[in-house]
């Protein structure tokens, strides 16, 4: 018996020796092919970049993986308990491998070998970290062996808490969310520290198969899996029985947060910020680096800007008539009826609908279902759709008398709820843009690039180059005032012609076809007189006017042709608003900015817009005077000239083409612009603290309609927007430079009159200038050379410019 026992022991030792040698040999075989696990010490996962408005409100996210990296110390114990119970209850006891579970899985796989069934896993949290961050997710014997070896090594190098931190931030939990913090916001709209037992348990139920437990697709499965986690939490002693029972009976509680878009009104602004960051730092900064961007956007103003512009575009478009349905659905009640028709995600108040039935005065609709809306049926009345009786068919305008002439069963249309009923809507064919900035800092506080970013991503505030028309005229007058002219200088407003450089004559004209004879510069700008502007530009020199336009940042280069004085050169809305900001701030250069600060994932500031120097700011305070801020901005316009132009632009609002914006209760200056054939309309205006510009026109320029103008279409948008912008703020005043002299002037003749004289205004004059007593009249006959013939292009081009830009207003 003794010999048998000794023999058996000897065999066992030999077997163990062979097994040990075998394992050692396998380890040596894998040694050279194993990845370097030590890189996990400084693991930097892809993070979302987040954009915030100036008040700290999240407005947009961009990135490959939606993740909020959370240190393990910031993960609540309740959340840890839920995941440990669901995934690895012995995590803090084992050395990377749960041998009992591994043997059980191995036995199961052996029994199922050759059956085609998927291999069982039995992975610990450590093994899952290895699988997610180092290896591939495939389930083969060799890969599982690599996983086991690396898991053991990981446990020897890193602490348990560090491994758990890696796990909590790397796991995919469905609906585009990586890591527990991001999933908490996605499913419940709340941070980790606000999660209940039931909510924490639901998140812990997801790592195994997040798509199988999608709460919106499979709510019963989700509840069942969640309750299993709750039971495990109770069995492991993390919660008591009473809490477990209560949590198991709680509703799932998930919300439609994932369907919500951050900042429905911010897409154009956010896309421009993305472009700027990508250009400066590369695409990684946006999509993987997880930067935090504090923008200049003022969300209440942005919302007001979107509302004002959209309302104007819809109003104008509906006045042009109904162009027909988006398309037709074969069977209105079929499950696939809405296939191929996309909603406007950033215009959530509009819903897709299919016409089920229609009579002379009413239509019944089926609405496209949404997670956040339960109503699926609606009624459309003739009273809410009367505008659509004006129909556009084959580019011809017709007038219908009943709703069944306009709509047919199966039509797919947009509708908007108003009160108890619905209004018929259509995507505007016309487009527009709005940009607003602080003239003293250049911070862009609102920017809208079109009706809907979902409809068109083209940003008409920053990417569309269009002719500003008469909105350019203030810069012609600024050049003159900066070079010896005064607001009371007289210019002849009368027909004239001049050679166009091709042997023909150019005959500019005023928009209304009328003329007023000798008139002051003030009247010329207030009433937007083309003839006066061309004469003035010819007198001061188109070269000088072009140089001023370039100095203001309106153009990189402006051709030296006289039609350019009437706004024939193309520029963007944001450039135009920036140029007006120079006038509004007293002549200082302005650089538009949409980003205040960028921080990396650690919170370190890597970019700051404000470059103002503060001398002695870092020294100790010992009762000395406040340190001086160094303003490095270039003075590109005489402050006195800026004040004179501002005063004249106030006249545009009070008496001229911009009268539509009167009544704000604060000082307002501005200028309208309408291009030839009414293809583009503009209004740019400013208060002492804000400049805003509006553009409206078709993407492929075409006639907006006889009589349409910047004063009629664009100025009302400015007024609607500014009502919100000035609310709760003091009236303020435009800064007046020292040293100017004021006279009471007749605004038409330019002569000094008594202040009580009808039509008298208080006009500002620079030192060395004064009102004239016997005023000379500029008739444009000064010999400044031929401003249309710089020989930089063919004569045909000059001729075309002159012929097509003579009726700008």
Res 258 pLDDT > 50: no
pLDDT digits (tens, 9 = 90+) for 540-569: 999 999 999 999 999 999 999 999 999 999
Vertex 653 angle, CA 651 and 656, to 5°: 70
Contact 678, 706 (CB under 8 A): yes
pLDDT value at position 458?
97
Q: CA 776 to CA 762: how far, in whole Å?
A: 21
pLDDT of residue 427: 96
Q: Which entry of 49, 65, 85, 87 is annotated as an active-site residue?
A: 87
For the residues 207-212, what does the mean pLDDT come to? 91
Q: Could you give the angle at the alpha carbon of 425 between the alpha carbons of 420 and 429, nearest 5°? A: 165
% of the chain beyond a pLDDT of 70: 84
Binned at pLDDT 50, 70 and 90, residue 130 comes out as: confident
Q: Evaluate if residue 796 carries a pLDDT over 70.
A: no
Tally of CB atoms within 10 A around 113? 10
* Model pLDDT for residues 397-425, shown as the tens digit of each residue: 899 999 999 999 999 999 999 888 899 99
Q: pLDDT at position 143, please? A: 67
State pTM to two decimals: 0.84
pLDDT band at 141 (very low <50, low <70, confident <90, very high): low
- Whether 87 is catalytic is yes
Top-confidence residue, 8 or 88: 88
Distance of CA 442 to the CA centre of its chain: 17
Specify the DSSP class assigned to residue 571. Answer: B
- Give the whole-angstrom CA distance, residue 521 versus residue 649: 11
Q: Tell me, what DSSP letter sits at residue 482?
A: T
Model confidence band, residue 665 (pLDDT cutoffs 50, 70, 90): confident
CB atoms within 10 A of CB 366: 19
Q: Do the beta carbons of residue 236 and residue 89 sit within 8 Å?
A: yes
Kindly report the average pLDDT of the chain as a whole number.
86
Give the mean pLDDT of 636-665: 95
Residue 795 has pLDDT above 90, yes or no: no
Catalytic residue among 123, 385, 452, 470: 470
Instruction: Say if strands 327-328 and 411-418 run parallel, antiparallel, or are unpaired.
Output: antiparallel
Q: Kindly give the interhelix angle for 219-235 and 77-87, rounded to the nearest 10 degrees.
A: 100
Residue whose pair of structure tokens reads 């910031």 in the numeric block: 74
CA 439 to chain centre: 20
**What string of H, E and C letters represents the secondary structure of 25-62?**
HHHHHHHCCCCCHHHHHHCCCCECEEEECCCCCEEEEE
pLDDT digit string, tens, across residues 22-59: 656 655 665 666 666 666 767 778 888 999 999 999 99
pLDDT digits (tens, 9 = 90+) for 162-193: 999 999 999 999 988 999 999 999 999 899 99
- Closest residue by Cα to residue 690 from 445, 356, 338: 445
Contact 87, 228 (CB under 8 A): no
φ, ψ (nearest 5 deg) of residue 15: -65, -45
What pLDDT, on the 0 to 100 scale, is given for residue 601? 86
Tokens of 93: 């006891």
Q: Which residues contact 125 (CB under 8 A, 6 or more apart)?
A: 83, 84, 87, 88, 91, 163, 164, 167
Comparing 130-134, 671-675, 733-737, which segment has the lowest mean pLDDT?
Answer: 130-134
Average pLDDT over every residue of 740-745: 95
Q: If pLDDT is split at 50, 70 and 90, which confidence band does 794 have?
A: very low
The mean pLDDT value for 744-751 works out to 91
pLDDT digits (tens, 9 = 90+) for 321-353: 999 999 999 788 887 889 889 999 899 999 999
**What's the pLDDT tens digit per position in 494-548?**
998 887 777 788 888 898 888 889 999 999 999 999 999 999 999 999 999 999 9
The mean pLDDT of 692-709, rounded to a whole number, is 95
Residue 145 has pLDDT above 90, yes or no: no
Q: Who's near 299: CB < 8 A, 6+ residues apart?
A: 53, 54, 55, 57, 59, 263, 265, 266
| Orientation of helix 573-584 relative to helix 473-481, angle to 10° | 30
Residue 24's pLDDT is 64
Contact 154, 166 (CB under 8 A): no
Residue that has been written with the tokens 């987040």 in this structure: 50
CA distance 142 to 153: 17
Radius of gyration of the CA atoms of the chain, in A: 36
Confidence class for position 117, pLDDT limits 50, 70, 90: very low
pLDDT band at 632 (very low <50, low <70, confident <90, very high): confident
pLDDT band at 138 (very low <50, low <70, confident <90, very high): low
The whole-number pLDDT of residue 148 equals 80
Maximum pairwise Cα distance, the chain: 141
Amino acid 677: pLDDT: 85
Q: Is 470 a catalytic residue?
A: yes
């Amino acid at each position: 018996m003794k010999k048998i026992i000794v023999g058996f022991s000897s065999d066992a030792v030999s077997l163990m020796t062979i097994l040990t040698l075998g394992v050692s040999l396998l380890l040596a075989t894998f040694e050279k092919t194993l990845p370097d696990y030590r890189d996990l010490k400084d693991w930097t996962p892809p993070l979302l970049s987040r954009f915030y408005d100036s008040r700290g409100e999240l407005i947009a996210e961009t990135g490959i993986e939606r993740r909020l990296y959370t240190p393990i110390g910031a993960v609540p114990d309740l959340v840890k308990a839920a995941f440990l119970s669901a995934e690895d209850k012995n995590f803090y006891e084992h050395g990377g491998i749960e041998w009992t579970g591994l043997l059980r899985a191995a036995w199961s796989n052996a029994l199922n070998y050759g059956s085609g069934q998927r291999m069982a896993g039995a992975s610990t949290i450590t093994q899952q970290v290895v699988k997610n961050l180092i290896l591939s997710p495939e389930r083969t014997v060799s890969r599982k062996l690599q996983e086991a070896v690396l898991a053991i090594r990981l446990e020897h190098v890193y602490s348990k808490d560090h491994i758990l931190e890696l796990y909590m931030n790397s796991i995919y939990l469905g609906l585009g969310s990586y890591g527990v913090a991001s999933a908490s916001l996605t499913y419940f709209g709340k941070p980790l520290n606000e999660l209940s037992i039931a909510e924490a348990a639901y998140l812990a139920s997801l790592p195994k198969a997040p798509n199988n437990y999608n709460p919106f697709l499979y709510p019963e499965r989700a509840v069942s899996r969640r309750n299993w986690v709750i039971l495990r939490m109770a069995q492991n002693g993390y919660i008591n029985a009473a809490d477990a029972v209560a949590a198991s009976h709680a509703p799932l509680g998930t919300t439609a947060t994932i369907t919500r878009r951050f900042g429905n009104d911010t897409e154009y602004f956010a896309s421009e910020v993305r472009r700027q960051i990508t250009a400066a730092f590369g695409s990684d900064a946006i999509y993987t680096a997880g930067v935090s961007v504090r923008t200049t956007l003022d969300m209440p103003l942005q919302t007001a800007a979107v509302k004002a512009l959209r309302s104007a575009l819809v109003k104008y478009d509906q006045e042009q008539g109904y162009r027909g349905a988006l398309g037709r659905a074969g069977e209105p009640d079929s499950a696939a009826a809405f296939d191929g028709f996309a909603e406007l995600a950033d215009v959530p108040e509009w819903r897709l609908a299919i016409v089920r039935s229609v009579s002379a005065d009413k239509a019944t609709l089926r609405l496209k279902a949404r997670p956040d809306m339960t109503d699926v049926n609606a009624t459309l009345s003739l009273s809410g759709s009367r505008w659509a009786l004006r129909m556009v068919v084959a580019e011809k305008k017709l007038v219908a008398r009943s709703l069944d002439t306009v709509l047919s069963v199966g039509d797919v249309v947009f509708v908007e709820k108003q009160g108890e009923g619905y209004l018929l809507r259509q995507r505007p064919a016309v487009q527009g843009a709005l940009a607003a900035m602080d003239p003293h800092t250049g911070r862009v506080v609102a920017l809208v690039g079109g009706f809907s970013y979902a409809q068109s991503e083209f940003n008409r505030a920053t990417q569309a180059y269009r002719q500003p028309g008469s909105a350019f005229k203030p810069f012609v007058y600024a050049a003159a005032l900066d070079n010896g002219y005064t607001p009371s200088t007289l210019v002849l407003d009368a027909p004239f012609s001049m050679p166009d450089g091709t042997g023909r004559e150019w005959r500019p004209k005023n928009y209304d076809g009328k003329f007023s004879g000798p008139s002051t510069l003030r009247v010329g700008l207030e009433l937007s007189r083309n003839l006066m502007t061309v004469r003035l530009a010819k007198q001061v020199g188109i070269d000088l006017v072009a140089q001023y336009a370039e100095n203001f940042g309106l153009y990189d280069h402006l051709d030296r042709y006289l039609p350019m004085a009437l706004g024939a050169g193309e520029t963007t809305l944001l450039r135009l608003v920036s140029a007006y900001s120079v006038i509004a701030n007293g002549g200082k250069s302005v650089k538009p900015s949409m980003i205040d600060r960028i921080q990396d994932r650690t919170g370190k500031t890597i970019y700051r817009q404000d470059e103002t120097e503060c001398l002695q700011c870092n020294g100790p305070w010992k009762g000395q005077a406040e340190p001086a801020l160094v303003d490095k901005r270039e003075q590109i316009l005489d402050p006195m000239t800026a004040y004179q132009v501002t005063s004249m632009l106030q006249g545009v609002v009070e008496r001229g083409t911009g009268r539509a914006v009167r009544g704000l209760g604060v000082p307002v200056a501005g200028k309208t612009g309408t291009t030839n054939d009414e293809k583009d309309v503009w209004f740019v205006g400013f208060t002492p603290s804000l400049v805003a510009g509006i553009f409206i026109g078709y993407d492929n320029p075409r006639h907006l309609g006889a009589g349409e103008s910047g004063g009629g279409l664009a100025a009302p948008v400015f007024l609607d927007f500014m009502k919100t912008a000035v609310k709760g703020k003091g009236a303020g005043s435009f800064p007046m430079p020292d040293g100017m002299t004021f006279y009471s002037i007749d605004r038409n003749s330019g002569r000094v009159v008594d202040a009580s004289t009808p039509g008298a205004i208080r006009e500002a004059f620079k030192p060395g200038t004064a009102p004239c007593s016997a005023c000379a009249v500029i008739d444009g006959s000064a010999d400044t050379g031929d401003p249309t013939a710089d020989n930089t292009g063919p004569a045909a081009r000059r001729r075309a410019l002159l012929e097509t830009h003579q009726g700008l207003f």
